Amino acid sequence: MKLPSGILVLTVLSFATSCARKPASISALQPTAYGNAIVESSGDKQVAQIGATLHDPVVVQVNDDKGNAVTGALVEFSAASGVVFDPVSALTDSSGQVTTNVSLGGMSGRYELTASTFDKSHKPIEVKINETALGYQQTLGRQLNEKYCERCHNPESTVERVSNYDNLAVKPHPFNEGGTLNKFTDADLTAIISYGGPALNKSALMPAWGNTLSKAEIQGLIAYIRAVSDPPLHGSEATFKSN
Amino acid sequence: MAKTVDQYFDDLRETRVWRSIFRSGSGSSTLHRSLAIQQNVFLHLFSTKVRTRMLSFSATWYLGTLTLGTFLILVATGIPLMLYYHPSVPQAYADTKDLQFVVSSGIFLRNLHRWSAHAMVFLVFAHMFKVFYRGAYRPPREFNWVIGIVLLLITLLLSYTGYLLPWDQLAYWAITVGSNIASAVPFMGSKIHFLLLGGNAVNANALLRFYVLHCMILPLTAIFFVAIHFWRIRKDGGLYSHSSEPATRRTESAAKEVR
Amino acid sequence: MKGKLKAFWSLLFGDSVRAFGVVSLVFLASLAIAPSKNYFSEWRHYQRGYLKMVRNRADAVTLQRHFQGGIQQIWLPEIGVVDRCESCHVGLKESSLANVSLQPYRNHPVIPHKLGEFGCTICHRGQGAATTVSEAHNSTLAWEQPVLPAKYVESSCGTCHRGPVPGTPRLNEGRRLLASYGCVNCHTIKLADGATMKPTDNPPSLSHIADKTSREWIYAWLKDPQAYATTATMPNFKLSDDDARDISAFLMANSTPISGDTLAISAKPSSDPTAGASLYGESFCASCHAVQNAAGNVVGGDVGPELTRVGSKVKPEWLQAWLRNPRIYNDGTPMPHYRFNDGQIATLSGFLLAKTDSDLLANVHLDPSTPQQVAHGKRLVSDYGCASCHEIAGIKKPDNFAPELSRIGSKPITQILFLAGMPHTLPDYIAGKIKQPRAFTTGLKMPQFTLTQTQIDDITTALLSLNDRANSLPPSMTVAAPSESNYQPAGQAGKLIHDMACMTCHRINGHGGDMAPDLSWEGSSVQRQWLTAFLKNPNTLRPALIRRMPKFNLTDSEVNQLSDYILAVYQSPTVDRDSMPLSGYPAGQVELGKQLFYGKYSCQACHIVDSNTDKGYIGPTLTQVGSRLTAAWIFQWLKDPQALRAGTIEPNRAMSDEDARAITAFLMSQKGGKQQEAAKK
């Protein structure tokens, strides 16, 4: 009876030692301080193609109750599956900030990212950051916007492109002005793009593009406008929240 | 007195339909029981009487029976598989995928076929070793051993030809290696290679040839030799068991063990 | 306990009949596993989930009516597509499901192709025939190719579309980067239509390098090109100090003097910074050359090299010779021959030579080279394949120096050596290889390129589009790339155009750059006196532009030669420049045109006619357009701008002939003159 039990013990031992170990937990960072509030410093409301890395990194700052920056607090980022953070968690630096590069998920729509930290009593405090991912149609719309529309509709100039906005007697609406543009239906937008301002009793400074742009291109532009409008048009696009 | 269930069954066996199909009527006499085996086309290969010692587990471990059992499973699963499989180069792999994903219980059919094939090869070898170690090849059973070896080769060939049919990387390269080994035979090697593949490379001809071998020629050959194998068992006096040896030989070998 | 177990055992397996019965029952029960597995399959689960989700929606009835149970597939035998994705992704074709965030129930976003005509795996890869999640999406034992991550999906567009497509910016940029970073100098890429991808990075010849720069600069450059110019596309070969020393020794020893120019200082470089800066600005050098300003921003074009530290690089006599006539050093250079006088050369060279960086060569001290170092340098130059990009005297350009990438998008995973910890997929391999080429094993020669992650993703997208399917599609299913011609103008004017490198910026007859307007039909559009005046002194046509045409100081006879050639040869087949008069339109028509211009069509949104009232500066100013363009051109332009210049952003207003004629009359009356001074900004 001794021999079989010895074999049994050996078998159990060999299995125990050879079974794969679980890897050490991912977040090996230990915070050295705790904050009271977390705010977004920059990188909110960006627009990028699906799967692409956002042009600017997302920067959040942890403050204490007096509003001073907290160094050494642990900030963790989370979002719907598909979004990749680099890094996914970090300790705040000397100015209380954490920077992360964000790659959006594979589906078009609005993504709600969450940056969270803990206060002294281990209660979680969060800030939500919104980014927009453009699918094919919206990307096409963005390309068309940069070529045809942005010179007049965007009041900001860049080094490469001087804005025409100030030269217009009647100012056009920037495309992210959701307060105004959400009131137009898709049919309204199609009409004004195709037939010019007079189609909706607006200034003729808006030309008629119906002969220059195809129907698919106009639909792409409208999809882009809906994607970037802030606040978003209700029910226009899916929103992916952190899970 | 109410009829018992058994009496109902007896009446059933006396009906015209039953007698037309099964010929011999009911009854538990030795004659009736012998006729039930003897007059059945499938069962008459077996003898009507067997010695109980032949049925003991330790005699054969039932390995031969199991081998036949896996063979029957292979035929039973192989025929439904044939319904979905086209032995042509663009179709073969796609049909395997369809079996896996679309056909109801297709995965089960394919997996059972494959596992039975591996089991059959294992069982055939085990059966061969068991026959050897219990001495069931000794006269008058020498020829049956040879038949058994032929069946072994047929089993291996069935396994080899079936391996190519999914036409995936595993199949293709396995057959390439195997046929290249065959081409190493002196004098006849390249001819064997050509005969095996129906060409110089593993392509559509090889697939069709292996399919016909696997589904038609080799199973028929196997059934043919299995029939001879079973017939020889009968004619050689049934399954061999040590206790069927004459007493003198038994005691002699027992005496040798003691020394 | 033991007694109970024994009793239980004998109950089940007591005698052989009982055992046989029990075992048979167990097997029978286990036989039910297969059909029940079949019934409780994954796709059925997802279809049930879909019906549950749909029940609470407003359009439930329609969706339920459209729903078909069972395995759904898209079967396209001509292209070998069997895609069963719709079995789980039930709502793919339902546009009302666009705002659903729960997968697999969302609809497919709008794309320019019908799902039923293309299937799914042509774009998304993965195992289309599968009906389980892991087999369909992931790389498994039976199927190597997982679903393509979203950021690389544009590579599938490139399988059929051989040229740039409006909706695929990442693919377009990736293809452009493959050419502009010179990848194709070492890696041959044969495109599906038979052409070979050509590089567009213009690496300079090193045959006369000793005339241009010093050995110390070559050493510093080889050690870290981006330290000299952050926008340099030259990769870093991670050379040891000794290797860089030997290569620089070889290049200097191998260099021969330039023939045809004396390389003497003709005019002492001036140290006046303001004059130099203003001449630099007037010459619009920034259209092609970039300079990093004090704030760290790189401003300027990317046609020529970055000039931030050019004073630390070039020898003064070389710079002056170059500015005097670049074609003597390199006949094929895109730089125009500016015809500066000695004073201008002095000013400009002084300005450029002042752009130095003392840190660049501070720690470079090289002893005079020995013959062994020169020989070793030559071996290194051959080993690293420098001659793939640079012309080096005595070393032939190697063929196939690096693996051919024509089918890289279909490379089998079994042939790939992965980095530890890297996911075993093809896109990860390509992106990882571009990011860290030498990390994969020892003895690799691919240098380290300076690319952002976005650029790496774009290049990976472009490379993934070079796959087996792209090369095996029937021509009816592909969209050919726009053909690039090799047009070079002929004759004396052709020599001038070559000397002035007009086609670096302008496109003529399908060949040239895209920085400036296409001149293929310039002869039909402009009036002669304007053209000659412009060539002598290019003025501002489009106020909003940063890149402008430089003043080349052409002589009168050169200007006349060019103008004659352009007006005679570059005519449009649809515009007859003499069909409408240049002036003399009735006042009523002019007035009607003015009303249409400012009212119905509101052209002042983008164009300036009266500089006192109009401010729109998207299109060219029209204050003197009546002296510039021909009436026939204006008329045709108003009728259909895209026919005369493809891709122009002027809208096609579907104007009636009368409207177009009226506006033409109005515009032809804008002759400029006194207004010209006021219009210049």
Instruction: Classify each residue of B79-108 as buried b or exposed e, where b means 16 or more C-beta atoms within 10 Å of its C-beta.
Output: ebbeeebebeeeebbebbbbbbbbbebbbb
**Region for C584 from its dihedrals, namely left if φ exceeds 0, alpha if ψ lies in -120 to 50, beta otherwise:** left
Short-list C308, C336, C310, CA closest to C323: C336
In this prediction, residue C676 carries a pLDDT of 46
> Residue C3's Cα: distance from chain center in Å?
83
CATH number at residue C613: 1.10.760.10
Distance of CA C371 to CAs B237, C130, C249, C254, Å? 97, 66, 9, 12
Overall domain count for chain C: 6
C126 and C22, same structural domain? Answer: no
Quick: pLDDT tens for C592-608. 999 999 999 999 999 99
Overall average pLDDT of the A208-227 stretch: 94
Verify whether the Cβ–Cβ distance A240 to C101 is below 8 Å.
yes
Residue C129 touches partner B, C-beta closer than 8 Å: yes
Do B and C touch (≥3 CB pairs < 8 Å)?
A: yes
pLDDT surpassing 50 at residue C189: yes
Range of the domain at C673: 587-679
In this prediction, residue B253 carries a pLDDT of 57
Query: How long is chain C?
Result: 681
C362 and C220, same structural domain? Answer: yes
Chain position carrying tokens 């039953």 = B18
Q: Which residues of C touch B107 (CB under 8 A)?
A: 34, 37
Q: Which of A147, A162, A207 sits opposite C653 (nearest CB)?
A: A207
C248 and C107, same structural domain? Answer: no
Shortest distance, CA B178 to any CA of chain C (angstroms): 22
Verify whether the Cβ–Cβ distance A152 to C605 is below 8 Å.
yes
Shortest distance, CA A144 to any CA of chain C (angstroms): 8
In this prediction, residue A175 carries a pLDDT of 93
Quick: pLDDT tens for A4-42. 565 666 666 656 555 545 444 445 778 888 888 899 999
Quick: pLDDT tens for C153-182. 999 999 999 999 888 999 999 999 999 999
Element (H, E) at B81: helix B63-84
**Stretch 166-185 of chain C: residues touching chain A, C-beta under 8 Å:** 166-167, 169-170
In this prediction, residue B183 carries a pLDDT of 94
Verify whether the Cβ–Cβ distance C618 to A164 is below 8 Å.
yes
User: Can you read off the two tokens belonging to residue A204?
Assistant: 């003729």
User: Can you read off the two tokens belonging to residue C133?
Assistant: 């999640």
In angstroms, rounded to a whole number, what is the distance separating the alpha carbons of residues C204 and C25? 84
In angstroms, rounded to a whole number, what is the distance separating the alpha carbons of residues C161 and C163? 6
- Nearest residue on chain B to C414, alpha-carbon basis: B169
Largest Cα–Cα separation, chain C: 124
C105 and C181, same structural domain? Answer: no
> Residue C68's Cα: distance from chain center in Å?
44
Q: Which residues of B touch C135 (CB under 8 A)?
A: 101
pLDDT surpassing 50 at residue C184: yes
Short-list C445, C624, B118, C48, CA closest to C634: C624
Q: Which of C101, C169, C599 sits opposite A109 (nearest CB)?
A: C101
Shortest distance, CA A243 to any CA of chain C (angstroms): 12
Q: Packing angle between helix B89-101 and helix B63-84, nearest 10 degrees?
A: 110
Q: Which residues of C touch B90 (CB under 8 A)?
A: 80
User: Can you read off the two tokens belonging to residue A36?
Assistant: 């009271």
In angstroms, rounded to a whole number, what is the distance separating the alpha carbons of residues C583 and C626? 8
Residue B189 makes CB contacts below 8 A (sequence gap 6+) with: B182, B183
Q: Which of A108, A144, A204 sits opposite C600 (nearest CB)?
A: A204
Chain position carrying tokens 């990438």 = C405
C62 and C15, same structural domain? Answer: no
User: Can you read off the two tokens belonging to residue A111?
Assistant: 């993504």
Residue A165 touches partner C, C-beta closer than 8 Å: no
- Nearest residue on chain C to B91, alpha-carbon basis: C80
Q: In the structure, what pLDDT confidence band is assigned to residue A118 with cuts at 50, 70 and 90? A: confident
In angstroms, rounded to a whole number, what is the distance separating the alpha carbons of residues C23 and C337? 97
pLDDT surpassing 80 at residue C508: yes
Q: Which residues of A touch C546 (CB under 8 A)?
A: 159-160
Q: Which residues of C touch A219 (CB under 8 A)?
A: 110
In this prediction, residue C537 carries a pLDDT of 87
Coil, strand or helix: which one is A134? strand
Short-list C229, C243, C226, C189, CA closest to C386: C243
Whether this prediction's pTM lies above 0.95 is answered by no
Verify whether the Cβ–Cβ distance A53 to C454 is below 8 Å.
yes
Q: Is the ipTM of this complex over 0.90?
A: no
Quick: pLDDT tens for A144-202. 999 999 999 999 988 778 889 988 989 999 998 989 999 999 999 999 999 999 999 99
- Nearest residue on chain C to A194, alpha-carbon basis: C653
Instruction: Classify each residue of B9-44 as buried b or exposed e, where b means 16 or more C-beta atoms within 10 Å of its C-beta.
Output: eeeeeeeeeeeeeeebebeeeeeeeebbbeeeeeee
Residue B188 touches partner C, C-beta closer than 8 Å: no
Verify whether the Cβ–Cβ distance C129 to B101 is below 8 Å.
yes
Do A and B touch (≥3 CB pairs < 8 Å)?
A: no
Residue C23 touches partner A, C-beta closer than 8 Å: no
The DSSP bridge pattern shows strands A124-134 and A109-118 to be: antiparallel
C338 and C228, same structural domain? Answer: yes
Structural domain boundaries of chain B?
59-235
Whether residue C48 lies inside any domain: the answer is: yes
Residue C562 makes CB contacts below 8 A (sequence gap 6+) with: C493, C496, C497, C535, C554
In angstroms, rounded to a whole number, what is the distance separating the alpha carbons of residues A203 and A188? 15
In this prediction, residue C311 carries a pLDDT of 92
For Cα atoms A92, A93, A97, give the angle at the middle one, nearest 5 degrees: 60
Short-list B233, B257, B67, CA closest to B136: B233
Residue C616 touches partner A, C-beta closer than 8 Å: yes
Residue B10 touches partner C, C-beta closer than 8 Å: no
How many C-beta neighbours within 10 Å does residue C302 have?
A: 13
Verify whether the Cβ–Cβ distance C150 to A51 is below 8 Å.
yes
Quick: pLDDT tens for B214-223. 999 999 999 9
Q: If you compute the radius of gyration of chain A from its CA atoms, what whole number of angstroms results?
A: 26
Q: What percent of chain C has pLDDT over 90?
A: 60
Q: In the structure, what pLDDT confidence band is assigned to residue B21 with cuts at 50, 70 and 90? A: confident
**Stretch 203-232 of chain B: residues touching chain C, C-beta under 8 Å:** none
Asked if residue A237 lies in contact with residue A226, where contact means CB atoms within 8 angstroms, the answer is yes
- Nearest residue on chain B to C70, alpha-carbon basis: B102
C507 and C371, same structural domain? Answer: no
C498 and C471, same structural domain? Answer: no
**Stretch 2-61 of chain A: residues touching chain C, C-beta under 8 Å:** 49-53, 55
In angstroms, rounded to a whole number, what is the distance separating the alpha carbons of residues C108 and C131? 18
In angstroms, rounded to a whole number, what is the distance separating the alpha carbons of residues B259 and B251? 12
User: Can you read off the two tokens belonging to residue C478?
Assistant: 């592909």
C323 and C223, same structural domain? Answer: yes
C292 and C172, same structural domain? Answer: no
Q: Which residues of B touch C80 (CB under 8 A)?
A: 90
B–C CB contacts, 8 A cutoff, strictly below? 31
Q: Which residues of C touch B95 (CB under 8 A)?
A: none
Verify whether the Cβ–Cβ distance B104 to C132 is below 8 Å.
no
Coil, strand or helix: which one is A20? coil
Residue C71 touches partner B, C-beta closer than 8 Å: yes
Quick: pLDDT tens for B107-157. 999 999 999 999 999 999 999 999 999 999 998 899 999 999 999 999 999
The listed range with the strongest mean pLDDT (B18-27, B70-79, C7-16, C594-603) is B70-79
Residue C674 touches partner B, C-beta closer than 8 Å: no
Structural fold of domain B59-235: Cytochrome Bc1 Complex; Chain C (1.20.810)
pLDDT surpassing 80 at residue B210: yes
Residue C82 touches partner B, C-beta closer than 8 Å: yes
Quick: pLDDT tens for B184-193. 999 999 999 9
The DSSP bridge pattern shows strands A109-118 and A239-240 to be: parallel
Residue B55 touches partner C, C-beta closer than 8 Å: no
Verify whether the Cβ–Cβ distance B94 to C129 is below 8 Å.
yes
Verify whether the Cβ–Cβ distance C653 to A51 is below 8 Å.
no
Chain position carrying tokens 């509101």 = C602
**Phi and psi of A51, rounded to 5°?**
80, -10
Whether residue C643 lies inside any domain: the answer is: yes
Verify whether the Cβ–Cβ distance C35 to B98 is below 8 Å.
no
C137 and C84, same structural domain? Answer: yes
Whether residue C469 lies inside any domain: the answer is: yes
Residue-range domains of chain A with CATH: 37-134 (2.60.40.10), 136-240 (1.10.760.10)
Chains linked to B by 3 or more Cβ pairs within 8 Å: C
Verify whether the Cβ–Cβ distance C150 to A237 is below 8 Å.
no
**Phi and psi of A58, rounded to 5°?**
-90, 130
Q: Which residues of C touch A109 (CB under 8 A)?
A: 99, 101
In angstroms, rounded to a whole number, what is the distance separating the alpha carbons of residues C304 and C231? 11
Element (H, E) at A91: strand A89-91
Residue A194 touches partner C, C-beta closer than 8 Å: no
C58 and C33, same structural domain? Answer: no
Mean pLDDT in chain C? 90
**Stretch 355-394 of chain C: residues touching chain A, C-beta under 8 Å:** none
User: Can you read off the two tokens belonging to residue B107?
Assistant: 């995965």
The DSSP bridge pattern shows strands A124-134 and C298-300 to be: unpaired
- Nearest residue on chain C to B94, alpha-carbon basis: C129
Q: Which of C100, C642, C654 sits opposite A238 (nearest CB)?
A: C100
For Cα atoms C283, C285, C291, give the angle at the middle one, nearest 5 degrees: 140
Distance of CA C515 to CAs C164, C337, C506, C533, C681, Å? 17, 18, 7, 21, 21
Whether residue C394 lies inside any domain: the answer is: no
Verify whether the Cβ–Cβ distance C169 to A49 is below 8 Å.
yes
